[in-house]
Structure 1
């Protein structure tokens, strides 16, 4: 299926890795020349407040001012992130309207403008996530600390042409700092806060010659968990995060730029912690009672969670006379080990144990980007490329325990009297430590994908441009491993009692329970058309776009008594109009957009012990999302209030399911699982009707220092976690308030920042797993406050 192009991309990427190469788009700079008679350089200007910044983005694979890109984008520098108290992807939702970033069962779930997916376990996210051009499909690995970051870009709407694979709702792209040849710099910051938080970070850039440099970014964080309570009768575990990123850059000749990167992260926590706040009828029958204090956890499982990620990446750019030729490649190894109390209570009912959830990911990309040297560059820009992706990920193994009790010993002992059973199978059963039986499964999915893309922008006049783009995608995905066996104590029943191997599934089933192959291929061409206009002399940009994007089919390989599931590809057709402009001589930047998405076969996920396993997938036949949003940043009354900046944004979304009969899930009437609900017309999950935020900063400059204060407010009108729109799985409206005070002592290049997030201690949740026993919620952080000291030298 992939032979010719796969050989091309893999061969070039392999050759690149043999040289240990990666690159960034920045160009080499000339070595510094000293001259005693030269005029001393002017002192560096004082920085503008973090909210007001001009940002260059790479949303179209080339460096462009954000105001000139006909895509709805919000981008943030480290100063802008700090002004909002944002340190990771979860915090981004406070600055981006219509974005929801949650965490449930240890996984990140991202929704943007109503596009997202609950099928996060062995399917792919609908919002593509990138770090330095490397695609992260394994959702637990993308909730990272923003250490050593240059900028963060949030691209809204389908990005299928250039970002391609499964970017049906948008993309989040993080760019870390590139090694610099000019100056050795080091930044150290230490944060201390409540819940015994201590977090040191360091970033250092070391130029080793005028064409070779290295930078290192590292962090370590330790804190208590933000909720009280116990797991397995013991205190909750500490949260420990640590990571290191090393990048080396070499420019052996004027037109060749090479960089190699290595990243290693590790996280240790309480696993997929959650608590049952709304017991279902089954939960009530089994005597589950909601906690009196929702911020106190008390589950019978001794929870644990450890995730590890190792990434080796490379990028090389060759600047030819007409175009830049860029090669990217990476090898990504991730693992997630955790357990989960399925019923979310202190009763020994059902639990998951995942001693292995690995991901083995390789990717390579060839980009061809036209430059000003190309004939016709004054009216034509071209971007083309090939992207290859290979991945195997899933549970290996996962264990499901039902009833963490052992009735065998008490039953057999009186019957068998004093018979010594120590050396028999019955002896093993009577000596079990609490758990009588469980189901052990391996459930992994393999993917191999290649995409070819081309985008051309024609400047038809000096005020009108036409962009035509398209991507041809060929993706093969299927079962890598799907097995199931029963385990009694330490004994695999399939290999002992029954004398046979575990059940191995090689075929799958569709939504009608018909047998289908265990491997399938999604192919197709997906177009994009954009018209953009600059009708006024102030560089106001007005754009209209049409695009089709597709998310490939998926398999749920976790099957117990029914075959693995197959779900169809998801297709989104998107229409958008937008405007980017500025007012008051550039003191206000303003962007607004209106959009409509038509979604076919939206991929969804539900969890029930009655679904053929515990986890199940299905397609919602029809869905749509429409809305309007804006974001703005402005200097506020500069002639009166010097140094005051205001940022505001808001989004309104009407996101609903169309026809959605025969929907599996929990009935809002009975609270019990049913395969035959009708969710037609219901609101889509994790999509508030209205969300928005406002941030205000004020800076004073005096003598040797700068003092800045800021505050921000975020409002979310609430949403449903379930397609049933059952109030039992609803997040009601909530408000978040943050504030900070920052002082820069310029002679020492030192900053002290006192901050608080959610300072009103608002209660809200970040995710829920809907189970047969009720909603097991992930509770978000309460009031967080602390101090950070940063020293740059």
Structure 2
């Protein structure tokens, strides 16, 4: 109730003070036209944000750099109705309470595009936000312009293009408390009157903010390097070609430094001798740290991430329109070592890594889009095009099972209590997408527009699965895994309750026609109202978990009503959006405790869910040196028909695993009722210098962190404060700044999960504490 009251107060204050465009969603000069209006490509052509009948938040590249926001996770937490969660087996992007669950087999419900190139894999959220013009966060289904998998929204990331004059820029940030450093540099170089290049690079690292009593090393301990080469060729006014190649290498030790909470568990949970929490208490004389803080006893964890991405865009004028082509290439390789039990439990073989999980994922995709778009401004403007892509995905997961002496259950005498078992799961998938799309804008009368759109997609997938348990080592390494004979494998599979079968349907094809329509009316040049409908679809696929499950497609019908306007001689900008999205056969996953103590991923198509609410954004330029901003969202995202959801932890503990609950009417994951931000930007002249002050307050009400509506897996509501203070000459050639994040030192989590064989005890990954850094910028 406290956070909701705060949110009502903030919303009321914002409306009464006429503030508006989110505090953390301001476009910089690179995203504005000659009149200072924000320009976006939310409909695959440049338009004023004011004219786009879509709810869009725009974050400028300079804003990200100024605030030292280098990841999608950091950006999302400061925006209302947007969440990005980092899980043990997959990441997830959520908009308006809709996202994909923690299973690597899911396509993301929120599609990510960088210069038109689709990034389908969830782990690609680890790629840094680097050298950008802007990030456009499009809310609601965007299937006409961005494809079948943008069923909940899209992140349209636009990189910085080469300039036509010799220029350079650099920014360096250092945070003493975590030894964090981030250095970014870029150079524009004209090579000829028609050809220019940009070279940019970034190196960053951190020694972390979580103390480890197990490894003796703080974490996350990160070292990352990223580089980009971009070329722009304009031989004449009718042709333009842009080529970009990106590459990155990231190494993070202590990437999953989870903490144990509730050991012993709260009342209502039995603390049986077999309970690993009870074993850990006995091992340490009943004295352990089970409070949420910045101390972890988790064993070694590590995440390595490498990627290469290429985008080649060509545009040629043909008559009054243009042909546009985007050729894309994306490759990444990620490996991850995690720990299912977040404390050094003495296991069956005398070690302290009882449930390690090691994953390897490789993905390669090539794509091609071609479209023809007419000139704008006439009675009819239109676009027609096609898209094709092919991807190959391969994953391998090795899991160690030494947290219990499973070998002691072997009645054949083949194995014993000290045998270290391991699961080995290999899955490959090939995907091919073909789609055609078209859109049209009709102006039957002045100030009125009818927008029609449609896309037809055919998505084919072929997948195979090999699951053969065997013997392993204490860190579940790939090299240490040993295969067994068929007879021995059958014994271990029975002991571990392992599903060794291939997918029952190794091939599937999903086809869908997705229409959309909207109407717009300009009340004046600076005020527009609109109403829209969109039909969305996301293809089915295969579970990359312990079971040989496949799942069908999900669909949505979405409705939106909005107003966008500029007032007071364009010093006040605002937009207000009402929306509702009805989802059917929603793809969902939840982690479920099994009777043998392991955790498995339950994948299924939910009957139905609904997401509806209101979003309000505004910015007011009060003087030449002060701008006030706010963004507030109310969200009602619930399951409307989900009779077979996974149980809460307490229910699972009572029945010993394998139960279900009716989740109909309960809130979805990562769906706070209230979220938003309030901020300002002040640039105060001091002689020939400027003093800049950028405060930002962002908040959220409580939300669940798993698809079980479990109070134990909930993040309470919170409010956090950031502040940046900078000083430099008025020409902007250099600036020195202090950048503070989470200045009130709020303790929050980004992920929670039940601990295997410890009902009521929770594994949690904590967010960063208060940090203050020094930043130097030169241009």
Residue 462 in 1 paired to residue 446 in 2?
Answer: yes
CA contact (8 A) 1:122 1:393 kept: no
Question: In 2 relative to 1, CA 380–654 (structure 1 residues): closer, same or farther, beyond 3 Å?
Answer: same
Q: CA deviation at 1:748?
A: 7.2
* Partner-residue secondary structure (3-state), 1:699: strand
* Partner-residue secondary structure (3-state), 1:441: strand
Residue 268 in 1 paired to residue 272 in 2?
Answer: no
Residue 783 in 1 paired to residue 765 in 2?
Answer: no
Corresponding position of 2:516 = 528
Residue 403 in 1 paired to residue 402 in 2?
Answer: yes
Residue 653 in 1 paired to residue 657 in 2?
Answer: no
Corresponding position of 1:436 = 420
Q: How many Å separate the matches in 1 of 2:500 and 2:407?
A: 31
Q: How many Å separate the matches in 2 of 1:256 and 1:340?
A: 50
Residue 664 in 1 paired to residue 668 in 2?
Answer: no
Of 740, 743, 752, 1:756 maps to 740
Superposition map of 1:16-55 within 5 A: 54-55=37-38
Residue 447 in 1 paired to residue 437 in 2?
Answer: no
* Partner-residue secondary structure (3-state), 1:161: helix
Deviates more, 1:320-329 or 1:139-148: 139-148
TM-score, structure 2 as length reference: 0.85
CA displacement, residues 476-505 of structure 1 (integer Å, 9 cap, x when unaligned): 123144333323554634348749999997
Residue 551 in 1 paired to residue 533 in 2?
Answer: no
Q: How many Å separate the matches in 1 of 2:260 and 2:212?
A: 14
Q: How many Å separate the matches in 2 of 1:717 and 1:474?
A: 39
* Partner-residue secondary structure (3-state), 2:146: coil
CA displacement, residues 640-687 of structure 1 (integer Å, 9 cap, x when unaligned): xx4111010100011111121122343544546434221111111110
CA displacement, residues 561-602 of structure 1 (integer Å, 9 cap, x when unaligned): x5x101111111101100000121110100010001101111
Q: CA deviation at 1:697?
A: 2.1
* Partner-residue secondary structure (3-state), 2:98: coil
Q: How many Å separate the matches in 1 of 2:333 and 2:536?
A: 29
* Partner-residue secondary structure (3-state), 1:679: coil
Of 283, 296, 304, 1:298 maps to 296
Q: How many Å separate the matches in 2 of 1:370 and 1:189?
A: 40
Corresponding position of 1:207 = 190
Question: In 2 relative to 1, CA 268–166 (structure 1 residues): closer, same or farther, beyond 3 Å?
Answer: same
Q: How many Å separate the matches in 1 of 2:303 and 2:146?
A: 31
Superposition map of 1:734-745 within 5 A: 734-745=718-729
Of 106, 109, 112, 1:126 maps to 109
Corresponding position of 1:332 = 330
* Partner-residue secondary structure (3-state), 1:579: strand
CA contact (8 A) 2:421 2:469 kept: no
Corresponding position of 2:5 = none
Q: How many Å separate the matches in 1 of 2:429 and 2:517?
A: 34
Q: How many Å separate the matches in 1 of 2:701 and 2:339?
A: 30
Q: How many Å separate the matches in 2 of 1:476 and 1:505?
A: 24
Residue 733 in 1 paired to residue 737 in 2?
Answer: no
Q: CA deviation at 1:616?
A: 3.0
Question: For this pair of structures, how many residues does the alignment match?
Answer: 707
CA displacement, residues 89-125 of structure 1 (integer Å, 9 cap, x when unaligned): 1232354321112222274321111111214422111
Corresponding position of 1:621 = 607
CA displacement, residues 703-743 of structure 1 (integer Å, 9 cap, x when unaligned): 42211112111110110112322210000001110111111
Residue 365 in 1 paired to residue 348 in 2?
Answer: no
Of 78, 81, 87, 2:64 maps to 81
Corresponding position of 2:137 = 154
Deviates more, 1:601-610 or 1:285-294: 285-294
Q: How many Å separate the matches in 2 of 1:200 and 1:327?
A: 34
Corresponding position of 1:388 = 388
Q: CA deviation at 1:552?
A: 0.7
Corresponding position of 2:378 = 378
Question: In 2 relative to 1, CA 54–556 (structure 1 residues): closer, same or farther, beyond 3 Å?
Answer: same
Which runs of 5 or more structure 2 residues have no equivalent in the other structure?
1-27, 282-287, 348-352, 474-479
Corresponding position of 1:309 = 307
Deviates more, 1:739-748 or 1:572-581: 739-748
Residue 567 in 1 paired to residue 551 in 2?
Answer: yes
CA contact (8 A) 2:261 2:291 kept: no
CA contact (8 A) 1:112 1:127 kept: yes
Computed over aligned residues only, the root mean square deviation of the Cα atoms, in angstroms, reads: 3.1
Of 94, 106, 114, 2:97 maps to 114
